[in-house]
Amino acid sequence: MTQDVHIQITDRDGILHDVQAPTDMALNLMEVVRLFELAPEGTIGVCGGMAMCASCQCYVQSSHELNEKLSEEDAMLSEAFNVKPTSRLSCQIQISLNLEGLKVELAPED
């Protein structure tokens, strides 16, 4: 049996959710947010997860070692609003065992 990882996600209303994300479904963090309905449909993952919109932007609050930003993500973030040094597009973060305890906050909707 594969393991789940605990992820703490603060939604756009400031409410903290502790969710268990499965690691065997090839999910990314944006899909986890949708799976647990932590943001209304249509306000997150608008492009489907291609790093072509910034609707899934989040701020990483823990010190986990994440996969490097690809140029597409980096460029998209350069056009997004409310960007901080900790900003990532959650669709580009793949859920894996090393993300146990990850803490993120969803960026505001534009």
Positions touching another protein (CB under 8 A) are 40-43, 46-47, 50, 52-53, 55, 71-72, 74-76, 78-79, 81, 110
Whether the CB-CB separation of 101 and 19 falls below 8 Å is answered with no
By beta-carbon proximity to another protein, the closer residue of 25 and 75 is 75
Burial class (CB within 10 angstroms; exposed 0-12, middle 13-18, buried 19+) of 37: exposed
By beta-carbon proximity to another protein, the closer residue of 50 and 97 is 50
Whether the CB-CB separation of 28 and 35 falls below 8 Å is answered with no
By beta-carbon proximity to another protein, the closer residue of 82 and 96 is 82
